[in-house]
Amino acid sequence: MKALGRQPLDRPPVWFMRQAGRYLPEYRELRSRYSFEEAMRTPSLAAEITLQPARRFPLDAAIVFSDIMTPLTAWGVSIEFAPGPRLPPLELREVAMLPEFEPGKVDFVAETISIVRRSLDPQMALIGFAGGPATVLAYLLEGGGSPNFGGLRAAAHDDVIGDALDRLAGMTRAYLHLQAEAGADVVQLFDTWAGLLSRDQFTRWVIPAAKKALAGLGLPTIYFAPGATHVMDEFHLVGATAYGVDWRLSLAEAWRRVGESRPLQGNLDPALLLSSPDRVRTGTAKVLEEAGGRPGHIFGLGHGIFPATPLTNVEAMVRTVVEWEGYASETRQAG
């Protein structure tokens, strides 16, 4: 939270995307007894999974165990995981006419957050999240995952997309507000597929929807759109507190594009965690050196962790950040 406020720190905070998941043996053991949907929709199980990485590593934040598809049921859309998301594909106009958000249909998310907040170390932040309107729209139009999401790209040439995204933005904001009320300290918007759109389309459609989804929540917000470096100089228009950076761009260049005064989160390549502890330590140190000790840096991966990641490499990454010796003096100089 101090990093999001750009306060000078002895080291950057560290957490990473998908840190509660399949790379952990305790997660795999639990999932051997419960399906993904059971684990996600049962607050005691979802809370346990959320807390697992916080027990194993000296992290500074926990992110609630859930999925960006979770709120669809509260929007009147049926969904199943087999194992990826499957749902009936909708037309743009159908998305624009989705019913009002019904928080009672996802009250298990709020209960999970409440349980975690009571169990979590008070010094650790709790992160809630949602999918960005453009990314959720991509799944709604496609009926599931896709290598290129042609439906979204075609829809970006139709003015009706504005109505559909506006509808999703309002419902996303309601979902994030539910998480904030339940005890989340910060929320992140994952706009995973928005980068597929052109610069003009991103500026015209994606940014207004993301801005509406994050507006007026009363807590810090993070916006993450991997693969969107072609429009990163426009990210500030989203109005988030901080912005995630994928591994494709250096932090120095990202700060130049987003704005030197804005907090950034990232950006170790998650594929590096498939190598060796020594290489992980070297790569982690490189990211820390690139950040230069400036206020407003949150260390993390440039995307989600791979399921095959060895625990020794995760430990090497987190320990390198926590024990970073060069950061304190650099931060004082930056301050």
Question: Which positions are catalytic?
Answer: 18, 22, 31, 67, 139
Find tokens 């990314």 and name the residue: 135
In angstroms, the first-to-last Cα distance of the chain is 17
DSSP of 207-230, one letter per residue?
A: HHHHHHHHTT-SS-EEEE-TT-GG
Residue 218: name the closest of 172, 261, 189, 181 by CA: 181
Q: What does the alpha-carbon distance between residue 193 and residue 135 come to, in Å, rounded to a whole number?
A: 5
Please say whether the beta carbons of 85 and 79 come within 8 A: yes
Give me 284's structure tokens: 């982690």
Helix (H, G, I), strand (E, B) or coil at 32: coil
Burial class (CB in 10 A: 0-12, 13-18, 19+), 205: buried
Q: How far apart are CA 239 and CA 255, in angstroms?
A: 15
